[in-house]
Amino acid sequence: MFTGLSAFPLTPLRDDQLDEKVYADLITRLVTAGAHAPAAIGIRSAAT
């Protein structure tokens, strides 16, 4: 059985690119709050 908190923050984009500073701040806040397993989930869809 798994224990702990997994967190999947939204990926911050600026001009269709990863905003690394904002993402690092999100991860820091999650770890500080006690998240054990923050994870990136990225889905990119093709423009229609």
Give the closest residue to 27 by CA, choosing from 42, 13, 12: 12
Q: pLDDT digit of tens for each residue in the chain (48 aa)?
A: 778 899 998 888 888 888 999 999 999 999 999 999 998 876 665 555
Give the closest residue to 5 by CA, choosing from 41, 32, 37, 27: 37
Task: Give me the residue spans of the domains in the chain.
Answer: 6-38
Residues 48 and 39: their CA atoms lie apart, in Å, by 28
Threshold 0.85, pTM exceeds: no
